[in-house]
Structures are given as C-alpha cells and as structure tokens.
Chain A
Amino acid sequence: MRHTISIIVANEAGELSRIVGLFSARGYNIETISVGKTLDPRWSKATIVTSGDDTTIEQIVKQCSRLARVKEVKAVTTLPHIEREMALIDVSVTRGDERQEVMSLVNIFRAKVVDISHDKMILEMSGTQDKVETFIDMLKPLAINEVTRSGTVAITRLSALEGSEYALQRAA
C-alpha cells in the first residue's frame, strides 16, 4: 500500500540524511521526498511517499520518531488529508495543431503555460499524483523532452485538526 508520511525534523545539517539513511538501512522504499521549512524556520517538514503494509508503515513511523531531532511523524494517508504534486513539462510543438492540442489539454487539466518558444512549451501542472500522471500520459503522443516532478506534499485536513502542525503552532 502506498502511504504518505510527514515528518517534522530540525532544520539542521545532516538531519535529513539521518531520515533517508534510516529508510535505506531498514529497507523501506522512498518513492518521493520533498522538504521545506515550516512556519517556524527551525523546523522542516519532509513529506515522504513510501509503500508497505500496515506493520511496515507503523514501523516507519516509530523508527523515525526515535530520531532525536524529529518532533512529529504522521502517516497522513491514515487521516483525512490533501496531497499535491507539481510537474514542469517541456514539450515540443512544431506544428500549429500540436500547439492547439496542448492548449486544450492545458485547459482541461487546469495546467499553466509558463514558458514558450517557436517550437517548445513548458507546462506547469499541479494536482494529485494521479492527475499529474494522467496529464503527462495525455501529452505522450507529443514529444515530451523533459519532466521535472516535485514529489508529493501533503497536509492533513482541518477536520483532522487535533495534533496537526497547525494546531501545534496555534497552541504554541
């Protein structure tokens, strides 16, 4: 089962490698990882997409919690949550009808054109991983030159407020 884990860890050198090292040492898979500062810049939030059965996910949560500089670990996929991924896609559009086709996909998927030249376009697409993948898939008949994906970020829904980062920060 695919799971998204969010980890709040000290924004210090080496702390991320401790988490990544733990995943590789214990044989857990990292499908995507993305990291950024939280409201409080002393802490970062890492969102890791991994896969495993319930026992594995529980172990991942517990193992990560053991790390001295980890403040909070959540398997967000076990809670009501929102997930997004962003992709930047460079496609070739040499014929006029190709450009038309891309534009109609952009409209359908609510993507954006962020750069354009005579024969290429760069598209920005954000949404669930599924949606991003479908969009890329739909573009495949055209020539895709390069795809850069952000990895998933996630946040628990307000209905799962108790214990959330938001609640913690409001309480603090």
Chain B
Amino acid sequence: METATQKNPTVVTIPVSVHETEKVRGAEVLIKGLIANGVDTIFGLPGGAVLHIYDELWRYREQVTHYLVRHEQGAVHAAEGYARATGKVGVALVTSGPGATNAVTGIATAYMDSIPLVVITGQVPSGMIGTDAFQEVDTFGITLPVVKHSYLVRNVHELEDIVNEAFYLAKEGKPGPVVIDIPKDVTAQLTEYRGPQNATLVFEAERPKPSVKSVELAVEKILAARRPVFYVGGGVVSADAADELARVVEILDVPVTPTLMGLGGFPTAHPQCLGMLGMHGTYAANLAVAESDLLVAVGVRFDDRVTGKLNTFAPNAEVIHIDIDASNIGKLRKPQIPVVADAKEALAALADRFAQESLGKDRLADWWEQINEWRSEVPLSCEYSETEIKPQQLIETLHKVTDGDAVVVTDVGQHQMWAAQFYPCKRSRQFLTSGGLGTMGFGLPAAMGAQLACPDTTVVAVVGDGGFQMTNQEIITAVQYNIPLKVVIMNNGYLGMVRQWQEMFYDRAYSEVDLSVSPDFVKLAEAYGAKGLRATTPEELEDVLRQGLEYDGVAIIDVVVSKEENVFPIVPAGGESRNMILK
C-alpha cells in the first residue's frame, strides 16, 4: 500500500529584478497575463462584475478575440472544444452569480474528462463578499469539487502569478479546469505588470517518466503473456502519445482496444484495433478483454461504462496500469504493475525496450486466430432500409462524404455511440465527446470551439434532437463570427438513449421521452441566418449531407432517422461485459 507521498516543489523562485514599471489595473494584468500565456481566443459573456475586464478586452481586441456566446454553458463548452481539438488551454470569461453558475456544467464536464481550461469568473467587490450582495454566489465553493484548482484573488499584486500558475496547473500532470474568481475591485486596483521576462515565479511542466524498474517488470509480463490486450484511453490522447502507442503495439503485434475517450489515439482502421470496448463496445473487444491474461491499461480509469460489473471484468488478467495520476491506479482495479508516468514517456520507454528484443513473428498466432473468429462472428453492422434512414447509415455516409477526415464532435445519447462505432478515426483529437459527465448540450458549442481551433478542417457536430435543443442558441454565435460549423441532427423524435433503456429494461414504458413536438429545425436554422437542410429518405441522404458540408457557412442538417433503432452491442449497466446483448 502506498501510504505516503511527497512532492517536489514545482515552483522555482527567481529574485525580482529591480526595474521601473508603470502601474496598470488588475483587469489589464489579467489580459496581459492571458496574452503572455499564448491566449488569442476566449469565449464569454459580460456582466457587472467583469466590466473592467471587458473594458480592457476592448482595448486589447487586436490581440485577443473574444467570442460572445449566448449562454455561459456555451462559453465553457466552446473553450473545451478548443482545448480538446488542440491540447491548448481553453479560456472562458463569465460574470459573477448566474454567470458563474451557468458555467458550472461546462467546468464539471472538463473536470471529468481532464480537459485543460482556465475559467475566469467575476465576483462582487471584496468588501461585499459574504453579504449576499447582488449577483453574489460562492463560486469558489460551488466549483470546489469540479476543479483541478481554484483561486479567489484577494490582492491585485498576486494576480499576475495566479494567472501564470493557473495556465501551468491546467496543463501540468493530468490536465483539468482551473477557476480564477476575481472580485470587481481587484480588477480596478493598480499594480505593476512585470511580464514574462521579469516573472518572480517560473513554472516548469515536466512529463513524469516511468521508473526503470517498473518498465522492466512490465516488459517481462508483456513478453510472457499469451493473450495480452492494450486497453487505451484519454490519457493517450492528452499526452499526444499516439505515435509511441503505435510503435509499441506494432513491435509486439498485440490487439488494442480504445475507450470512448481514447478513440483516435489508435487508428480505428489499423488491423490491430478491435474497436471500442465497454457498454457499447464491439463483440471482439469485449471478449478479448474478458479472455485476456494481461491487460496493459494506458491512460484509462476503469470507468464503469467500460468494465460493467467490476469484479468480473477481465477476470483472468493481470494488469499493468500506466497513468500520470497515481490516484487512478488501484482506485477500482488493483494492478500487478503500477506505472505512474506520462503515457508518452512510458510508451516510448517500452518501445525502446521491445525494439531490442527479437520477437517471433507468430508469437500470438493462437490469440489472433481466436480474436479474428470473434471479429467475423459479430462485426459492427446494420441493415439498411429502403424507406428510412438508419442512424448507423447516417454516420457511415458522413464518414464517406468527409473522407474520414472530419473532426467529429458529438453530444450525448445514441448518436454518440453510433458515431463512436461507425466513424473510424485516423488521428488523436479527431473524436471529441463528453465521456465522463455525459453532458447533453456539449456538442454544438464544443464543435464551434473546435472549428475555431482548426479553421482548415471540417468540423461536424453530431447531435441528437434532444441535446441540440439544450444549447442551440449558440448557432447565432457561429453565424455572427462566420465560424463555418456543420451540425448534423440525428433526429429520431425521442430522447433516444433513454427510450432504448425503457424499451429494453422497463417494458417499453416510454415515460417522458417523446420529442415528436419539436421546432422545425430547418426553419430554426434559417431564423438564425444559417443554412437549414433536411434529409428524410435514404436516397437523398448523401446528397443532402454533401450540400450541407460544402456550404460556406453554418449549416444545420436535420436528418430524420428511424425512430426506434437501438444501439448494439449493449452490456446492461452493471452486467458482465462478456454478456452482451447483440440485437
């Protein structure tokens, strides 16, 4: 049992150089601090407590572009989309009180998926804190359980260091959201801005390397395994470790299964990729894990949507768990070999070691034979219909018309799972989704942020008719700033995923899932000044998708699909993952 930890101080103090600087107000320190940390894009919505900050933003508008969202949840999701698509820190700015509470869902979404964000919230003036002042909430307290770190700035002289540290913390180690709550008076007070050259604190992020011993132990186990599987997750994506992963698994010729968050971390079309595992994972992936004798878990957290019933998950496997976050290791499954390290460093170390071994070509021939049998036994597939568009067909056609190159941003529900199953990813950061929190409303604003981050790539939000209506107000933001976002609504007239569970596990009692009364999404798009299109038949699907995707501007494509299609395979919640319902 690991029962003591001690950290190397991450902060290096450098003496302050004696120099004369002009005093500036807190708001300007903040903006200069953002710029010094490489920020040129922020998402937000103003209010009383952040007026000084917005005043400075106006002065610095050539250097920092602010995108005015229509709801603060949209600002944080957009910042997340930006961060997920690039690995850079996303930034959102909101006012006190309701501005901050509206941002909480986004902050929690980022927290669960370890996405680097800096969220700046206004606060009532210092002297009024604790008096139930107008638009006062305890933002520090409300966000406490869903932030990596947070600050309530009490002194303007600390602000510059706080901003620098916030950016460092958001990215360092396991990334996450950092909140800076700034009372209004602090943004008006004067202080010196020292700038990066004269910084008193220097933050150096380093990627923790695996210990030599843990690598040796892992190598030994991996070479001895007869039925190994690499189970890889979001940690591979956030460490940008896809190349190192490919190197290791190609040398070893082992099967790989990504989690929902790991999609893209290993190319889906790679012959060694078994597809996603878990609740809606492939037959081959779930069986391979169930039968494995060694799981090499990289940047994953044994989430219940992956494992199903925990004590029957990979019951005969030993586990090597590589994670940058020691608290993830042993939290749910005790590994035989824990490796606390950055995924990129650990995989590189493994690859270097295996490169020295001479591995027999058909080392794992029996294992592959078994796996290939499962693959052909139950491949991912769906039967198309003459009259209705099948949701899987929608994703397959989308894959076709985008040449498999689009960044796909999903919302949460059935469409999310079909997108995960039927849009093979080629690269990291190509599939952006709210995995941990499962936040409906994430898709559209996150896609907007991703599109800004990747102006030369087609970015498609794939959303349900339910989740679309949770944040569709951001269409106007995309229109206003000419962000050529494409939104595909998989319109099944239901809160589909909930309906599926009611059908399968509650005797078809469709309690409060009917969305047949919805706005006309084409007219809605037009009302926003976007292009609206609709596909209702299989014949027109491809053509309508092409028209929408080729449109130079925001396009909302309403695709009416069969209403009661279910996502398969499915492992019922808490079930044993080898017991998949296949249709």
Q: What residues of chain A have their CB less than 8 Å away from a CB belonging to chain B?
A: 13-14, 17-18, 21-22, 25, 54-55, 57-59, 61-63, 65-75, 78-79, 163, 168
Contact = CB atoms under 8 A, between A and B. Distances in A.
B3 A66 contact: no
Centre residue among B3, B6, B152 by max chain A CB count within 10 A: B3
A22 B148 CA distance: 12
A57 B1 contact: yes
Nearest to A61: B3
A21 B6 contact: no
B5 A59 contact: no
A66 B325 contact: yes
Given A65-B5, A68-B148, A59 B154 contact: no
Contacts of B6: 71-72, 163, 168
Interface string B1-18: 111111101000000000
A62 B152 contact: no
B4 A75 contact: yes
Given A62-B327, A65-B326, A66-B325, A73 B5 contact: yes
A69 B9 CA distance: 10
Interface string B325-356: 11101110010000000000000000000000
B1 A71 contact: no
Nearest to A65: B5
A59 B152 CA distance: 28
Interface in B14-61: none
Interface size class of B (residues with CB under 8 A): 20 to 34
Interface stretch (B98-106, B137-145, B253-261, B434-442): B137-145
B563 interface: no
A59 B331 contact: yes
Nearest to A22: B145
A17 B330 contact: no
A75 B7 contact: no
B149 interface: yes
Nearest to B154: A13
B169 interface: yes
11 contacts: A13-B152, A17-B141, A55-B334, A58-B1, A58-B3, A62-B2, A63-B327, A70-B7, A72-B4, A74-B4, A78-B1
Complex A-B, nearest 4 residue pairs according to Cβ-Cβ distance, in ascending order:
A75-B3, A62-B327, A65-B5, A68-B149
Nearest to A70: B7
A73 B5 CA distance: 5
Centre residue among B4, B154, B325, B326 by max chain A CB count within 10 A: B4
Contacts of A66: 174, 325-327
Contacts of B150: 14
Nearest to A71: B7
Contacts of B331: 59
Nearest to B172: A68
Contacts of B148: 68
A20 to B, nearest CB: 10
Contact of A72 (B5, B145, B154): B5
A14 B3 contact: no
Contact of B4 (A61, A68, A70): A61
A76 B145 CA distance: 26
Contacts of A61: 2-5
A17 B1 CA distance: 26
A28 to B, nearest CB: 13
Interface string B138-174: 0011001100111010100000000000000100001
Contacts of A55: 1, 330, 334
B120 to A, nearest CB: 17
A29 to B, nearest CB: 17
A18 B152 CA distance: 13
Nearest to B147: A18
B157 to A, nearest CB: 15
Centre residue among A57, A58, A71 by max chain B CB count within 10 A: A58
A34 B247 CA distance: 51
Given A63-B327, A65-B327, A14 B2 contact: no
Given A57-B3, A58-B1, 18 more contacts: A17-B141, A21-B144, A21-B145, A22-B145, A58-B330, A62-B2, A62-B5, A62-B327, A63-B327, A65-B5, A65-B326, A65-B327, A68-B148, A72-B4, A72-B5, A74-B4, A79-B4, A168-B6
Contacts of B7: 65, 70-72
Contacts of A62: 2, 5, 326-327, 329-330
B4 A73 contact: yes
A43 to B, nearest CB: 11
B504 to A, nearest CB: 30
Contacts of A69: 149
B11 to A, nearest CB: 10
Interface string B543-559: 00000000000000000
Contacts of B4: 61, 72-75, 78-79, 163
A166 B238 CA distance: 38
B163 to A, nearest CB: 15
Nearest to A17: B144
Nearest to A53: B1
A59 B169 CA distance: 21
A66 B331 CA distance: 14
A4 B1 CA distance: 15
Contacts of A67: 149
A144 B263 CA distance: 65
Centre residue among B2, B149, B169 by max chain A CB count within 10 A: B2
Contacts of B144: 17-18, 21
A12 B329 CA distance: 29
A94 B3 CA distance: 50
A78 B5 CA distance: 13
A59 B334 CA distance: 11
A74 B330 CA distance: 18
Contacts of A54: 1
Contacts of A57: 1, 3
Nearest to A54: B1
Centre residue among A14, A69, A168 by max chain B CB count within 10 A: A14
